[in-house]
Amino acid sequence: MQWLALYFPDLPLDVFWSGEESAPVAVIRRQKGRDIIDRCNASARQQGVRPGMALNAALALYPGLLLHERDDKRERQRLETIASWAWNYSSRISFDPLLLLLEVGGSAKLFGGIDVLLEKLRNDPRAPAAVEYHALAPSPGAAALLARLRPGTRVRRTENLQGVLRDISLAHLTRNRKLLTLMQGIGLSTIGEALELPRPELARRVGQEAVLLLDRLLGRMPDPRPLWQPPEHFQQSLLLLAEIDQAQVLQFPARRLLNSLSDFLHGRDAVTQQLHWRFLHREAPPSQLEQGMLRPDKRAEHFLELLRQHLERLQLPEAVVEMELRVDDWQAAEKIHEDLFVPQQHEDQGFLERLRARLGEEAVHGLRSVPDHRPEKGWGFREALPASGDAAGPEEPLKGEGNDPLWLLPRPRRLPQRNGRPWHEGCLQLSAFSRRVETGWWDGEDVTRDYYRARNPAGQELWVYRDRRSGQWFLQGVFE
């Protein structure tokens, strides 16, 4: 087996979004009854802040330092995001603190060998975090240890592990203070010194735990670890150190959540059509935003483009302190089929999706013909574009529809008559008989009409009809 360890030392800092990349930010932890700086960014270091420094001393150097306590839950969530991306390279994934372990021996052949796989992984533009600290070893414990202490190390054979690990301090092997004290008490300080002692003697002096740790480290004993399985649904949150009171600014932290969603979908070769956003405030109830799309997708940049349009209409009751993204439904990408005989409408789809996001879904509709010869009932609304897999061919026009005007009045308008002739801004000249319509008896709105094309003195082309029962004239539409 070959285990690849990916170490992310700045993960405690990366789980928070500061709002400004240049703002000094630090993460603190409790140690021996006092708060100390656990991690800080480059801007904080420029102000003299350093990891291990007492919080009071750091604030004395820079009072405006943005602070947050370490959050194990968010760090685990961030590791799972990275695991969703790493799922493309291995189906055997395990976790250590700030570290991801991938068994890549089984998938190396699919990529053309270990070296090719590592190169692809390190240069993957979709990687959610920089893969700078990594190591390869036959055991997960050795890979994790080397990634933290000697990034870039690659050990292919088990028999070579002892030589690579021998000068590493025992303090990096275990956090069991009692065990470390016992080993240091008999003069052991490095892994190599512990390995030089006979195993029975080492076990007798410090206990069997030390022998088991060393055997697992060198691959002599199995090192069982729980394997991660991708969740069925996507749900992530992002805590904002800097509160946001303008909806449009939310697109910047949202990019991180959308990248995580894209990794989740790519890892399953899946797509989704509905995103659920929640923006949390200190006092007001959470703001909700439903982001729907005409066709399923998995691209973060497409999701973000539509989100920008939605945010233009979002009204925030107060500043946002945390944001959440949830996707409940997704489907395999291979289930999305295109009709061979229907032209692609990707450009139309993108325009209509942006329009719906900006104006609201209820404001953008397509039109469809209805099999009814009454012009005012011969059309209806439909989705602007059919959902994927529901594309249909062009609808057949109703008989005689080609002679109808493009502009129909919402309701026929009754025209006055003078000397028995219809009148609209002057006496109308009837130029052509259009058609006779007798229909609608089944719904109580039956009509019997004779349609004509007419022209008024101003030269306007009109579409009028005469009700054969009452003899009244009505204006129905206008020709261009």
Give the model confidence (pLDDT) of 370-426 as tens digits. 676 777 776 665 655 544 444 444 444 444 455 678 788 888 899 999 888 898 888
Q: Which amino acid is at 376?
A: E
Contact 50, 39 (CB under 8 A): no
Please enumerate in sequence order all residues whose Cβ is within 8 A of that of 367, keeping only pairs 6 or more positions apart, or say none.
379, 380, 381, 382
Rounded to whole angstroms, the Cα distance separating 37 from 51 reads 5
What's residue 355's pLDDT?
Answer: 57
What's residue 87's pLDDT?
Answer: 87
Reading the block at residue 309, the tokens are 């349009």
What's residue 387's pLDDT?
Answer: 45
Helices (H), 64-156: 72-86, 108-111, 114-122, 140-149
What's residue 91's pLDDT?
Answer: 87
What's residue 85's pLDDT?
Answer: 87
Read off φ and ψ for residue 253, nearest 5 degrees. Answer: -70, -25
Cα–Cα separations (whole angstroms), residue 148 to 5, 39, 153:
9, 16, 10
Distance of CA 149 to the CA centre of its chain: 34
Instruction: Please compute Rg for the chain using Cα positions.
Output: 35
Reading the block at residue 267, the tokens are 């890892």
Low-confidence ranges of the chain (pLDDT < 70): 18-21, 334-370, 372, 378-403, 480
What's residue 340's pLDDT?
Answer: 47
Reading the block at residue 26, the tokens are 């630090």
What's residue 384's pLDDT?
Answer: 53
Contact 227, 92 (CB under 8 A): yes
3-class SS of residue 187: coil
